[in-house]
Amino acid sequence: MTLLQERARTAETGQRRGIRRNGSLTPYLFLLPYSLLFGTFMLVPAVYGLWISLHDWDYLLPGKPFVGLDNYRALFDPGSAVYEYFWQSMSATGVFTVASVPLLLTVPLAVALLLNRSFPGRTFFRAVYFAPYVLGVAVIGVLWRFVLDPNLGAVNALLGTNTPWTTDLPWAWVSLVGVTVWWTLGFNAVIYLAGLQDIPRELYEAARIDGGGRWAEFRHVTLPGLRPVLLFVVINTVLQAANMFGQSYLITQGAPGVETRTAIMYIAQTGLRDFKMGSAAAMSYLLTLALLAVSLIIFRVFRSRED
């Protein structure tokens, strides 16, 4: 929705004035360096990947026979070698997405509402809540692996428990979701906060005069006011969750067995450790299709709400 508005706006300003009708090569020369990179590392791989997925592409073997759709068929054939592990990893990604996205949408909103007023130290607190996000998943991973260690970790020592945070279900999921919320909460919070600040004060005043109370104010002013940022936040959060890799890789290492091994982990393992690239490429196209479908559904939901 914001994208469409954005495009409409671009078209308008384009016609308005100032933009030189440039028949020359100039714009293309400016675009050249980026286009080279975009072509080599975005467009070519998108097509090349499709080509790979149609072959029995073993990186270590000289012959890479064409197999048509066999790699895709294997993903749907319960008798194939990849079927069980692939769907196991897809369901792990699904579990993580379903468990983490609601929290990643609501907790940052609560934090943003907390920060959405002027008080001394506001910028300081905003920075503190954002701080973990500037660290990489590698730092976060090894740190929480230590803190959550069932035997030696500070969390169990603090709680006086011996919960298997990193080694057993459902605790491993609790850990992965909890760490992810802790780590990335600041990102959505900052975006929400910017959205909140764009809501005109008069709307709140009007709501107050109507005497609706806090909840009504939230429902009828705050939420609709956040709509411009909400679509981005929802799609981005879902995509990020569906791409989860580092947390599982470092904190649970897939534990207890392969239950917390995500789709990206399995694809990378298949393609870049076992070098079964044809199969891995097919998996990544299937995952991409699934994610595109999810994005489209989210788009639809937002658009139908707007009408």
Nearest to 282 by CA among 43, 52, 77: 52
Residue list 195-234, contact with another protein (CB under 8 A): 195, 198, 228-229, 232-233
Count how many Cα atoms sit within 13 Å of the Cα of residue 125 in the half-sphere of its side chain.
14
Task: Give Rg (Cα) of the chain.
Answer: 24
Q: Could you tell me the smallest distance in angstroms from the CB atom of residue 295 to another protein?
A: 6
Measured CA to CA, the distance from residue 172 to residue 153 in angstroms comes to: 14
Check if the beta carbon of residue 138 is closer than 8 Å to that of residue 226: no
* Strand partners for 276: 58
Nearer to another protein, 203 or 290 (CB): 290
Query: At closest approach, how far in Å is the CB of 212 from another protein?
Result: 22
Least distance from another protein to the Cβ atom of residue 301, Å: 16
DSSP 212: -
**Using the rule CB under 8 A, is 72 a contact of another protein?**
no
Which tokens sit at 171? Answer: 């605790």
Print the binding letters for residues 74-103 with another protein: x by CB under 8 A, - otherwise: ------------------------------
245 binding another protein? (CB under 8 A)? yes
Taking CB under 8 A as the rule, does residue 66 contact another protein? no
**Applying CB under 8 A, does 45 fall inside the site for another protein?**
yes
Question: Hey, how many other C-beta atoms are within 10 angstroms of the C-beta on 160?
Answer: 6
Q: How far apart are CA 245 and CA 243, in angstroms?
A: 6
- Pick from 70, 90, 100, 141 the residue near another protein by CB under 8 A: 141
**From the CB of 233, what's the least distance to another protein, in Å?**
6
Site string for another protein, 152-181 (x = CB under 8 A): x-x--x------------------------
171-197 vs 137-147: helix crossing angle, rounded to 10: 130
Burial 72-101 (b: 16+ CB within 10 A, else e): bebbeeeeeebeeebbbbbebbbbbbebbb
Q: Per CB under 8 A, which of residues 4..43 are in contact with another protein?
A: 6-7, 10, 13-14, 17-23, 26-28, 30-35, 37-38, 40-42
Residue 2 interacts with another protein (CB under 8 A)?
Answer: yes
For residue 144, state whether it binds another protein (rule: CB under 8 A).
yes
Cβ-based neighbour number of residue 61 at 10 Å: 10
The only residue of 8, 69, 81, 131 in contact with another protein, by rule CB under 8 A: 131
Q: Does 135 bind another protein (CB under 8 A)?
A: yes
Judged by CB under 8 A, how many residues of this single chain contact another protein?
101
**Smaller CB separation from another protein, 114 or 258:** 114
